[in-house]
Structure 1
Amino acid sequence: MNKLSLLLLLIAIQACAQKPYYGDYTLLGKLPAKLNEVSGVETAGDSTLWVIEDNGNKDKVYMVNLKGKLVRELKVDHAKNHDWEDLAQDKAGNLYIGDFGNNANARKNLKIYKLSKPFAKKGGEIDAEKIEFQYPEQKEFPPKKSNLRFDCEAFFHHKGSLFLITKDRSRPYHGKAYVYKIPDTKGEYTAQLVGEFVSCTDTQFCSITGADISPDGKKVALLGSGYIWLFTNFDSDDFTKGTKRTIDVKHRTQQESICFLDDNTIIVADEQSKTKGRHLYSYSLD
């Protein structure tokens, strides 16, 4: 073997030996192949999580452990996965599925499904109640390209209300997200606009794809594909008036799901995209 061949072989061996890079995330595990489009995650217990998939996938919620292994699945009755985009949970353990994905800003059937304490549910099915809503500012379906602000992939529950954070699809792109509030009980509602903020202006990474609030109610975390926006020191429904911290996690994948495992630990999931993604990660705020 000549010197050039030996050098190339050593380079190849070194490349194969290098560990994958996950930025500032800690890799927890890989989700099963049947869950390659996870769009929402929420805690199910100290060591388990609820996850859902988005448009075109089954009307089910899945329980996985913190290594990504499938533990359980529940078919959601009286519900249709038009475009499930996020999960939220209240203090009583009720789970909320956000069926409000609205890429084209043309939907008039936006809704949230409420599941009563699925952790305690026996069997393989669970009933859902409907919380239907509309945005009062939307007059056209779809609106002009400059006003495509009515898509949503993120929400959380806090003190009897659901807080929705929209995804900017307008052109030109401004990275502006709007915060809406609706009740957490069955019915039809007009969403109340309570706040807005600009994340950043890169169309690939700055749109809000997930949200959660810490168990103590003192931190709100919003997710983009490679960024976390953390809000603290807020004292009203408009948490965007609090202190905002932008966290670059130094990992660029299609990240669409975020939740708090505890007050200082965040869980993130990304979708499968070619050879990347379909992972669970943790991130410490300490």
Structure 2
Amino acid sequence: MIKVIFVFIAATALMAYFLRDTLLGDGVTEKTGIKSFERIASLPGEISESSGVVALYGQNQFLTHNDAGNKPYLYKLNSRGNIQETIKLKLPNVDWEDLAMDNEGNIYIADTGNNNNGRKELAVYKINLNSPSKVEAIRFTYEDQKKYPPPKKERNFDSEAAFWADGNIYLISKDRGRGELAKVYRLPDKAGQYKAQLIGSHRIKAQITGAAISPDAETVVLLSEEKLHIFSDFSSPDKFYEGSYKEVELDDAGQTEGVAFEDDASLIITSEGGSLYRYKL
């Protein structure tokens, strides 16, 4: 009997060791509850590859766009997924990947897709919906990238995730080399040519596809396929990756690409499969 108990304990310990990242990661993993996560609408046919989203606070409306190879349009949607307005921009859509918004309502379009890590002309375009023809271009390269492209295992210079805070744009990398490290870069929110400054990182065994910060700037959420990565209790947006961390699984949500805060406690999420979701924190 003692031998049986010993074997059982040893097997349990071994299983816990090999599943430690799944069970714990760098924080806590949760399943979504029925009440916390819901599909609220289908996206219209014009939005076949939603890649980024922002919520227009107080309007119950959202902006989204399509991925690379599509027209440089922003689509204003209501909560039923109906297009209220199509904003046609005279900008290149090399590989639009995310949207962000500042406290004055300016929209930042992250033309930062870089699948092969070979792009040398990356940009974030700043517009205001009241005069969308006026565009500021924030052009940049990554300060730590030396080769275009780098070796395959070192390809961590793609970004599909951006948010704005305190006069800065924060870009989160999509680790195409090893799929284990989300790097955090910072850019000024003014037109110019810059080196994106690497300010930190967080080990996440996923490829990040979206990012958002809450209106009160107390929570940052990163998105990957069918999963949220939630950071809280940090000292400033510059250090969000050092805060408390947990993961939330979004069962059956598909290729989730865009995430935005609707308010301090609610997220809007889009998928390339054509769905609009709401998640309650």
Contact kept in structure 2, 1:174 and 1:198, CA below 8 Å: no
What residue is the counterpart of 2:119 in the other structure? 107
TM-score by length of 1: 0.83
What secondary structure does 2:228 align onto? strand
| Cα displacement (A) at 1:238 | 2.1
Instruction: Find out whether 1:175 has 2:180 as its counterpart.
Output: yes
Aligned counterparts of 2:267 and 2:139: Cα–Cα separation in 1: 29
Instruction: Find out whether 1:242 has 2:247 as its counterpart.
Output: no
| Cα displacement (A) at 1:25 | 2.3
Contact kept in structure 2, 1:87 and 1:95, CA below 8 Å: yes
Higher relative contact order by CA 8 Å / sep ≥ 6: 1 or 2? 2
Aligned counterparts of 1:67 and 1:174: Cα–Cα separation in 2: 34
What residue is the counterpart of 1:13 in the other structure? none
What residue is the counterpart of 1:278 in the other structure? 274
Instruction: Find out whether 1:128 has 2:156 as its counterpart.
Output: no
Contact kept in structure 1, 2:50 and 2:67, CA below 8 Å: yes
Instruction: Find out whether 1:257 has 2:258 as its counterpart.
Output: yes
Aligned counterparts of 1:65 and 1:226: Cα–Cα separation in 2: 23
Corresponding letter in the other structure for 2:144: E
Name the CA shift for 1:192/1:257 in 2 (closer, same or farther; >3 Å): same
What residue is the counterpart of 1:188 in the other structure? 193
Match of 1:154 among 150, 153, 161: 161
In structure 2, the gaps of 5 or more residues are: 1-32
What residue is the counterpart of 2:68 in the other structure? 55
Query: 1:150-170: CA deviations, max 9, x gaps?
Result: 000001000000000000000
Aligned counterparts of 2:97 and 2:241: Cα–Cα separation in 1: 22
Aligned counterparts of 2:52 and 2:179: Cα–Cα separation in 1: 25
TM-score by length of 2: 0.85
Give the length in aligned residue pairs.
246
**Superposition pairs for residues 24-43 of structure 1, below 5 Å?**
25-43=37-55
Aligned counterparts of 1:212 and 1:45: Cα–Cα separation in 2: 14
Aligned counterparts of 1:169 and 1:58: Cα–Cα separation in 2: 26
What residue is the counterpart of 1:212 in the other structure? 212
Please tell me the root mean square deviation across aligned C-alpha atoms, in Å.
Answer: 1.4
Contact kept in structure 2, 1:75 and 1:126, CA below 8 Å: no
In structure 1, the gaps of 5 or more residues are: 1-21, 201-205, 272-276
| Cα displacement (A) at 1:251 | 2.4
Aligned counterparts of 1:56 and 1:174: Cα–Cα separation in 2: 25
Query: 1:225-262: CA deviations, max 9, x gaps?
Result: 11100000111312110101111122241110000000
Aligned counterparts of 1:252 and 1:114: Cα–Cα separation in 2: 30
What secondary structure does 1:238 align onto? helix
Aligned counterparts of 2:266 and 2:167: Cα–Cα separation in 1: 24
Contact kept in structure 2, 1:76 and 1:128, CA below 8 Å: no
What secondary structure does 2:241 align onto? helix
| Cα displacement (A) at 1:127 | 2.7
What residue is the counterpart of 1:8 in the other structure? none
| Residues 98-107 or 53-62, more deviating | 53-62
Contact kept in structure 2, 1:85 and 1:154, CA below 8 Å: yes
Deviation >3 Å, runs of 4+: none
